């Protein structure tokens, strides 16, 4: 009799870079003797939304952390590069694997790729199974009474909240894993060339600790601290009032079921107070992903078709876009946000709304330009949340801010950064300005600025647009698309 071949499963890891609450891994372990954790680098399969520069930095470190965690369980991360289907076939051939498990993704390109892989491998007799690791409620599970996808957040969340009790608890990480065959080759993570050649990433390294241990530390410190005052604290960009979990959630170093379970352990009622507000924000992540799933054209096209004819600015657009990207618009809260983004790969939510409103309304530049810049610079760049955030800010999306509600960045600064601490941190040129001027240095008399040692247009830019005039122009532009054809 031939020696019996151990049954082998491939676990195809993508944006589920963790061992705990990873149903693909757990199911593979339950069903097979040998489990092969594999990461295949195939960014072109996600085109045109392959990971940007900051996201690649994160991925490099997250894979490194995952490889160390797997090694600690006795296993090994197999890293490969190239087309996913042919790479999986090669691994199946090399190991005799009969099963392939993965956790689902929801972007149009990844859905198409995964469907093709599933169809092809099943036709070749491989047992393929996908699982849910990333969502509390997968996008197709909740529809309106009329059977339509939800387009407005409040009724969506009213539907979700009572169902939170039914979300299954997270499954624990396996204590040990069988070792993959030693002969099986794996690329070093460096070979994926994810880190920038010109090293601009020090700010990212100073801010983040990619990997599930870093995610867990952030979660614990949020639950023990900022969560109690989340409702107020989340609006103040100078404070550490939010969880900072977005990149960890995006890369699946931590899953939403784990976050929910941890909140449940921390408070009696997960629908009330700071905890309730925080869980509701997780709901925005779910809502954004279900919008992307049901409206897959929205990363490029406005959800509201009348915005296709919006008269965006045509003159000076490159110079204005560059000023916005570099944090040199002369509007302090905008510049502070854009510099925080460049330095740390993250920006506070309130400030994301302000800079997005400023780009699309005061500068009247297409929201797609802003979404693309965020895509390249955010460590948490996520096609669902980014698309939804930009369409919301531009007024063209579901549940969008009405177009005529144009944020006044000076008022936003005065309200949410009253002592100017956020602006001073990221725009140190304005350090000496008193609070009444720090959000609008142009309002000072020239002699006053002189005395403070600040020359507008030299030390710090003069505003690239007049806030009042650009607001009126934006409203006039909106009138044009409002009229029935
Ligand atoms: C123009 C614009 C672009 C954005 N792009 C992204 C993006 O690419 N990736 C991304 O994760 N978020 C994006 N957001 C949403 C939000 O700004 C971030 O999720 C949040 O700032 C992350 O910080 P945190 O983890 O401390 O959030 P917390 O306040 O601690 O919230 C907890 C979690 O809830 C989710 N969440 C919170 N607010 C939102 C929201 N408004 N929409 C969707 N999910 C939310 C995130 O997963 C977050 O980690 C965008 C918002 C705007 C206005």
The secondary structure of 304-363 as a DSSP string is SGGGGG-----TTHHHHHHHHHHT-SS-HHHHHHHHHHHHHS---HHHHHHHHHIIIIIS
Q: Where are the alpha helices (DSSP H) in 142-238?
A: 153-160, 202-207, 212-224, 230-233
- CA-proximal residue: ligand 1, atom 12 (nearest): 385
Say what the pLDDT of residue 202 is.
Answer: 96
Say what the pLDDT of residue 397 is.
Answer: 84
Q: Which ligand 1 atom sits nearest the alpha carbon of residue 288?
A: 43
Find the 288 Cα to ligand 1 centroid distance in Å: 10
Burial of 302 (0-12, 13-18, 19+ CB in 10 A): buried
Find the 381 Cα to ligand 1 centroid distance in Å: 9
All domains in the chain, ordered by first residue: 8-133 (3.40.50.620), 135-170+212-294 (1.25.40.80), 305-482 (1.10.579.10)
Find the 170 Cα to ligand 1 centroid distance in Å: 22
Say what the pLDDT of residue 11 is.
Answer: 98
Closest CA to 4 of 31, 26, 34, 24: 34
Q: Rounded to an integer, what distance in angstroms lies between the CA atom of residue 253 and that of residue 236?
A: 26
Residues lining ligand 1, Cβ inside 6 A: 234, 242-246, 249-250, 281-282, 284-285, 288, 349, 352-353, 356, 374, 378, 380-382, 385-386, 389-390, 393
CB 153 within 8 A of CB 127: no
Give me the active site residues, please. 281, 284, 312, 349, 367, 390
CB 106 within 8 A of CB 384: yes
Find the 234 Cα to ligand 1 centroid distance in Å: 11
Beta bridge partners of 8: 34
Nearest-10 crossing angle of helices 317-326, 332-344 = 70
| Residue to mutate (ligand 1; options 385, 405, 407, 416; most atoms within 8 A of CB) | 385
**Cα separation of the two ends of the chain:** 79
H-run or E-run covering 99: strand 99-103
- CA-proximal residue: ligand 1, atom 17 (nearest): 349
- CA-proximal residue: ligand 1, atom 29 (nearest): 242
Q: Rounded to an integer, what distance in angstroms lies between the CA atom of residue 136 and that of residue 116?
A: 25
CB 260 within 8 A of CB 279: yes
Alpha-carbon distances of 372 from 41, 141, 246, 390, 407, rounded to whole Å = 22, 30, 18, 10, 21
Phi, psi of 127 (to 5 degrees): -75, 115
CB 260 within 8 A of CB 219: no
Going by the DSSP 8-state scheme, the letter that residue 189 receives in this structure is G
| pLDDT tens, the chain, 485 aa long | 445 667 999 999 999 999 999 999 999 999 999 999 999 999 999 999 999 999 999 999 999 999 999 999 999 999 999 999 999 999 999 999 999 999 999 999 999 999 999 999 999 999 999 999 999 999 999 999 999 999 999 999 999 999 999 999 999 999 899 988 888 999 999 999 999 998 899 999 999 999 999 999 999 999 999 999 999 999 999 999 999 999 999 999 999 999 999 999 999 999 999 999 999 999 999 999 999 999 999 999 999 998 999 999 987 689 999 999 999 999 999 999 999 999 999 999 999 999 999 999 999 999 999 999 999 999 999 999 999 999 999 999 877 667 778 999 999 999 999 999 999 999 999 999 999 999 999 999 989 999 999 999 999 999 999 999 999 999 999 988 876 54
Say what the pLDDT of residue 403 is.
Answer: 73
What is the SS3 assignment for 168? coil
What contacts 211, CB < 8 A, 6 or more positions away? 17, 61, 62, 64, 65, 66, 69, 253
Tens digits of residue pLDDT in 352-405: 999 999 999 999 999 999 999 999 999 999 999 999 999 999 999 877 667 778
- CA-proximal residue: ligand 1, atom 5 (nearest): 386
- CA-proximal residue: ligand 1, atom 33 (nearest): 282
Which H, E and C letters describe 428-473, residue by residue?
HHHCCCCHHHHCCHHHCCHHHHHHHCCCECCCECCCCCCHHHHHHH
What is the SS3 assignment for 13? strand
- CA-proximal residue: ligand 1, atom 49 (nearest): 246
Find the 246 Cα to ligand 1 centroid distance in Å: 6
Find the 284 Cα to ligand 1 centroid distance in Å: 8
Going by the DSSP 8-state scheme, the letter that residue 26 receives in this structure is H
For 84, other C-beta atoms within 10 Å of its C-beta total 21
Say what the pLDDT of residue 3 is.
Answer: 53
Q: Which ligand 1 atom sits nearest the alpha carbon of residue 355?
A: 1
Q: Rounded to an integer, what distance in angstroms lies between the CA atom of residue 412 and that of residue 395?
A: 18
H-run or E-run covering 394: helix 383-394
Say what the pLDDT of residue 352 is.
Answer: 98
Find the 349 Cα to ligand 1 centroid distance in Å: 6
- CA-proximal residue: ligand 1, atom 35 (nearest): 282
Say what the pLDDT of residue 405 is.
Answer: 80
Closest CA to 250 of 135, 353, 140, 170: 135
Q: Which ligand 1 atom sits nearest the alpha carbon of residue 245?
A: 25
């Amino acid at each position: 009799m031939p020696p019996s071949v151990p049954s082998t499963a491939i676990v195809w890891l993508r944006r589920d870079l963790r061992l705990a609450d990873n149903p693909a891994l757990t199911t593979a372990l339950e069903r097979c003797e040998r489990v092969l954790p594999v990461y295949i680098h195939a960014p072109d399969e996600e085109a045109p939304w392959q990971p940007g520069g900051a996201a690649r930095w994160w991925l490099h470190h997250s894979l490194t952390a995952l490889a160390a965690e797997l090694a600690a369980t006795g296993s090994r991360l197999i890293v490969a590069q190239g087309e996913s289907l042919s790479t999986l076939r090669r691994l199946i051939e090399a190991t005799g694997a009969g099963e392939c498990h993965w956790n689902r993704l929801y972007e149009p390109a990844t859905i198409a790729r995964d469907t093709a892989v599933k169809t092809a491998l099943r036709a070749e007799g491989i047992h393929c199974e996908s699982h849910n690791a990333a969502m509390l409620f997968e996008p197709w599970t909740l529809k309106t009474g009329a059977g339509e996808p939800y387009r407005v957040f409040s009724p969506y969340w009213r539907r979700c909240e009572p169902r939170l009790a039914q979300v299954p608890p997270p499954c624990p990480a396996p204590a040990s894993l069988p070792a993959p065959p030693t002969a099986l080759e794996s690329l070093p993570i460096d070979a994926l060339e994810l880190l920038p050649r010109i090293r601009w990433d020090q700010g990212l390294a100073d801010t983040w600790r990619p990997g599930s241990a870093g995610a867990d530390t952030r979660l614990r410190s949020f639950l023990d601290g900022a969560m109690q005052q989340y409702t107020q604290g989340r609006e103040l960009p100078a404070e550490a009032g939010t969880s900072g979990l977005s990149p960890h959630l995006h890369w699946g170093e931590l899953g939403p079921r784990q976050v929910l379970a941890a909140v449940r352990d921390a408070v009696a009622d997960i629908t009330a107070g700071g905890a309730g507000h925080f869980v509701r924000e997780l709901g925005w992540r779910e809502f954004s992903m279900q919008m992307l799933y049901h409206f897959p054209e929205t990363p490029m096209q406005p959800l509201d078709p009348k915005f296709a004819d919006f008269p965006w600015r045509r003159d000076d657009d490159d110079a204005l876009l560059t000023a916005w990207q570099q944090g040199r618009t002369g509007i302090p809260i905008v510049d502070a946000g854009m510099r925080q983004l460049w330095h740390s790969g993250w920006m506070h939510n309130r400030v994301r709304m302000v800079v997005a409103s400023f780009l699309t309304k005061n500068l009247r530049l297409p929201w797609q330009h802003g979404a693309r810049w965020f895509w390249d610079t955010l460590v948490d760049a996520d096609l669902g949340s980014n698309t939804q955030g930009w369409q919301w800010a531009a007024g063209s999306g579901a549940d969008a801010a009405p177009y005529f509600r144009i944020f006044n960045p000076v008022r936003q600064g005065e309200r949410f950064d009253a002592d100017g601490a956020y602006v001073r941190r990221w725009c140190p040129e304005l350090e000496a300005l008193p609070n009444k001027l720090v959000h609008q240095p142009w309002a000072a008399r020239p002699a006053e600025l002189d005395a403070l040692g600040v020359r507008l247009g030299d030390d710090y830019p003069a505003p690239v647009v007049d806030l009042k005039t650009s607001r009126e122009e934006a409203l006039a532009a909106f009138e044009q698309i409002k009229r029935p054809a």
